[in-house]
Amino acid sequence: MLNDVMLTRRGALTALSSSAATLVLSACSSSNDDEDSSIPTSVEYSMWDSGQQPAYQACADRFKEKTGITVNITQIGWNGYWTKLTAGFIAGTGPDAFADHIQKFAQLVDLDVLLPLEEQAAWVDVDVSAFQEGLLELWKGEDGHQYGCPKDWDTEAIFYNKDMAPSTGLSQEDMAGLEWNPDDGGTFEKALARLTVDVNGVRSDEPGFNPERIAIYGIGIQNSGDADGQTQWSPFTASTGDWYYTDKETWGTHYRYDDPGFQSTMDWYFGLVDKGFMNPNGAFLDATSTDIQMGSGKVAMAVHGAWMFTTFAKLDVNVGIVPTPVGPNGTSQSLYNGLGTRLSSSRRTSREPPSG
């Protein structure tokens, strides 16, 4: 266990966690006539998203009004955030609470730097039924403890250029009702064929199409998708059958990338590059992100997440949003994630927290 310092902070931290989840700043109060001098006057909170920082600061200001406790918010960009956070925990100087990502959760559990929320006083009043189904389970350790409080959740959809689609005969209803399969791509691949145009203005379903010289790709991709393909191939692998990533929903020990359904889906998906429907790696050296690709007019559609709504809305393009295509299992799928608030054990002692 890392540095044991003041658990008098724990009451404040659990109250902060509860407020982050419910936006009700009432878990801890400083209105007692006999002020407890052991209650801390400040809490350190770390996050990476500068776009959310103003809202967090507003919550922190209200929290101070209610409790008298100052929440000092430190914002560091994504890449530097995890390096400094991990180094701080190892050195015993980590924040009291922080924003966490599901990709980093297991590492922090292994470092033994997280407090179980169900053991904190403020968690008793949290309405767990208010969370999106399945979110709480993502933040449970292999030991069954609840180490994180989901603060949001996201989903993926198809963003597309609404001005390009009508010229191909595709309506909003057509785009919203696309289906796919790994054999011939279904109506989704037919839509890609109509939207893909070579440098001579020939569509891919017309005679003379050149798949090696593309002016407009039917769909864009910004990288291969790493291990999860969240904004690339995940809607397709998830709707191919009953496939999911590991042998268990959480804390699995075997990735199911050897599944035949998964492999046939990936063969079809990356085969779109060979057909000219999707840009190959390196095609957009100055526009690697799919929002920039679409904004340039060189990509007709892309899979992306809810966190990009504002970015796509600001493009000089008429953007439409529809569900991901229905797959062989009859469903439209989206890999969802939810960021979470964590309490650090790096400032823990054996003191009991002050009552709310």
Q: What is the mean pLDDT of the chain?
A: 85
DSSP of 183-221, one letter per residue? TT-HHHHHHHHHH-EETTS-BTTSTT--TTSEEEBSB--
- B/e letters for 226-248, b = 16+ CB within 10 Å, e = fewer, are eeebbbbbbbbbbbbbebebeee
pLDDT at 181: 98
pLDDT at 335: 87
DSSP of 13-71, one letter per residue? HHHHHHHHHHS---SS----SS--TTS-SEEEEEE--TTTHHHHHHHHHHHHHHHS-EE
d(CA 60, CA 211): 54
Element counts in the chain: helices (H) and strands (E): 11, 10
Taking residues 92-104, what's their average pLDDT? Answer: 91
- Tell me if 7-153+339-343 shares its fold with 156-322: yes
- Binned at pLDDT 50, 70 and 90, residue 352 comes out as very low
Q: How many residues does the chain have?
A: 356
pLDDT at 36: 53
d(CA 153, CA 166): 33
Which tokens hold the place of 72? Answer: 């000092």
CB 92 within 8 A of CB 2: yes
Which tens digits make up the pLDDT trace of 2-57? 332 222 333 333 333 333 433 322 333 333 444 555 667 899 999 999 988 999 99
> Residue 160 above 60 pLDDT?
yes
109-112 — which CB contacts under 8 Å span 24+ positions? 109/141, 109/142, 109/147, 111/2, 111/86, 112/1, 112/2, 112/345
CATH 3.40.190.10 is held by the domain 7-153+339-343 = yes
Query: Does the pTM of the predicted model rise above 0.85?
Result: no
pLDDT at 29: 32
CATH 3.30.420.130 is held by the domain 156-322 = no
Q: Per mean pLDDT, which range of 1-15, 67-81, 245-259 is the poorest? A: 1-15
pLDDT at 285: 77
- Binned at pLDDT 50, 70 and 90, residue 167 comes out as confident
Residues linked to residue 301 through DSSP beta bridges, in sequence order: 160
Distances (CA, A) of 57 to 46, 49, 62, 75: 12, 12, 9, 11
pLDDT at 10: 33
Distances (CA, A) of 73 to 39, 60, 76, 99, 140: 19, 8, 10, 11, 25
Of all residues in the chain, the percent with pLDDT exceeding 70 is 85
Question: Domain boundaries in the chain?
Answer: 7-153+339-343, 156-322
Distances (CA, A) of 218 to 301, 302, 311: 6, 9, 20
- Binned at pLDDT 50, 70 and 90, residue 346 comes out as low
pLDDT at 332: 96
CB 128 within 8 A of CB 74: no
Amino acid at 151: K
3-class DSSP assignment, residue 292:
helix
pLDDT at 249: 84
pLDDT at 259: 96
Taking residues 174-181, what's their average pLDDT? Answer: 97
Which tens digits make up the pLDDT trace of 195-222? 999 999 999 999 999 999 999 999 999 8
pLDDT at 13: 36
